Amino acid sequence: MLAPRILKKLEEILGKERIIEDWEGRLTYSYDAQVEEAVPAAVVFPQSDEEIAQIMKLAYEEEFYVVPRGAGTGLSGGSVPLNNAIVMSFEKMNKILEINGEDLYAVAQPGVITLDFQNEVEKKGLFYPPDPASAKASTLGGNIAENAGGLRGFKYGVTRDYVLSLKAISPQGEQLKLGAKTIKSVSGYDLVGLFCGSEGTLGIVYESTLKLLPLPEAWSAMLLVFSTLDEAASAVSQIIAQGIVPSSLELMDNFTIKAVEDYKHLGLPRDAGAIVILEVDGYKESVEREMAKIEALLTKMKPKEVKKAKDQKERDDVWAGRRSALAALARISPTTLLEDVTVPRSRLSQMVHVIEDIAKRYNLRIGTFGHAGDGNLHPTFLTDWRNKDEWERVQMAIEELFTSAVELGGTLSGEHGIGLAKAPFLPREYNEATIEAMKSIKRALDPKGLLNPGKIFID
């Protein structure tokens, strides 16, 4: 709970109706999609940058913690409010302010749902490529703070590649303008780059200008079934080696296929070793050429089965399984731990073997799916934290997983962030001097450490 004095001042800024104080209400904001850890002291719903600035000035004066929150779909505990923090939710800042077809950008508030944004710009023949599998629920603010990737990362990159400029409030309550609405800007340090992926620890984003592209005129989607995971990983390498750049290139292992089938009954082959789902997009002629190249490779890749989508309905069917992979796995056990290791694409096959080996040696259930084209895999541990023995094995297995990813030239997290869950492992990837450089940026921007405490680093 907050001190009555602070609560009164927050009420003066927002009015009682935009503050949650009761226990049940606060409980709803105590977890994200993976980490359940701490109940906030209060939840506040600002509607303008002035209100955010006033709240941060109050926080600075009274020294209480603030945790920004989008939709809470994060998978590393980023929006979990430690240290009796208040949660600042952007549910009421969810407007698209401008869609500019001439300069190819849109301006939006942080609480806009990603899919709504994609749909609105598409109505004007424009395209916003970042496409996290959580697009139906996640917000643009959360995507920026996590530098979210997604299903179209292989061809189109990640959220950072589409952020032209940001408006933010500093931890001291000051206005910050980062970047410019132009395609190019090298005026000073790249603070947009710094804020993307900063997990709400450096400032509060209240407006973003996002780059748009013309909507691709055509697409073609295909699902390939393989007998083994190895064959599937090798198919991914062969496609990339041909110089083909699919917009999406995704992988699901046998465990995940069965989980999806039990959940959605899509008719996926339960005996398949793995499935690769791919899509190419662009001009009609180039889509046809790229698909023809992929089809020419089929004799070498030797899939057991090939399904090519003929219309939008079949395209949706091809993607339905992949989009429901996490939900399908999460039904299996009380605790789901989804990891996010990423390796250079050429090491994908090795990483897949490491995961299989870890599952065997630690006797654990792991379903693996992910953005194969990005070398980004989501080995998902299905467990129960109350089973002490298994929980210990899971912890050891995760540690080994991270070590192996880094040894293969990879990274702990391709897109979900370090947050709370992976903070203890950051020293596996970076040396002390590098972590100290990051901490000194945090200290410079947030000297009292009030914004999203306990994330990214273990102090």
Ligand X SMILES: Cc1cc2nc3c(=O)[nH]c(=O)nc-3n(C[C@H](O)[C@H](O)[C@H](O)COP(=O)(O)OP(=O)(O)OC[C@H]3O[C@@H](n4cnc5c(N)ncnc54)[C@H](O)[C@@H]3O)c2cc1C
Instruction: Please report, as ranges, the residues that interact with ligand X according to CB under 6 A.
Output: 32-33, 67-75, 78-79, 90, 110, 132-134, 138-139, 141-143, 145-146, 148-150, 199-200, 204-205, 326, 415-416, 452
- In whole angstroms, the minimum distance from the beta carbon of 76 to ligand X comes to 8
Name the residue nearer to ligand X (CB basis): 117 or 226: 117
Question: 319: closest CA among 165, 179, 133?
Answer: 133
- In whole angstroms, the minimum distance from the beta carbon of 292 to ligand X comes to 29
Angle between helices 388-407 and 348-361 (to 10 degrees): 160
Angle between helices 229-241 and 284-301 (to 10 degrees): 140
- In whole angstroms, the minimum distance from the beta carbon of 65 to ligand X comes to 11
- In whole angstroms, the minimum distance from the beta carbon of 27 to ligand X comes to 16
DSSP H helices in 16-135: 23-27, 49-62, 114-122
**What is the maximum alpha-carbon separation in the chain?**
72
CB atoms within 10 A of CB 305: 11
Name the residue nearer to ligand X (CB basis): 70 or 171: 70
Name the residue nearer to ligand X (CB basis): 6 or 75: 75
Angle between helices 49-62 and 4-14 (to 10 degrees): 160
Name the residue nearer to ligand X (CB basis): 68 or 216: 68
Which secondary-structure segment (H or E) carries 94? none
Helix (H, G, I), strand (E, B) or coil at 26: helix
- In whole angstroms, the minimum distance from the beta carbon of 367 to ligand X comes to 13
Name the residue nearer to ligand X (CB basis): 33 or 191: 33
Angle between helices 348-361 and 229-241 (to 10 degrees): 160
Alpha-carbon separation of residue 203 from 13, 19, 77, 89, 266 (angstroms): 19, 21, 17, 14, 43
- In whole angstroms, the minimum distance from the beta carbon of 221 to ligand X comes to 17
Name the residue nearer to ligand X (CB basis): 132 or 216: 132
Name the residue nearer to ligand X (CB basis): 69 or 347: 69
- In whole angstroms, the minimum distance from the beta carbon of 456 to ligand X comes to 9
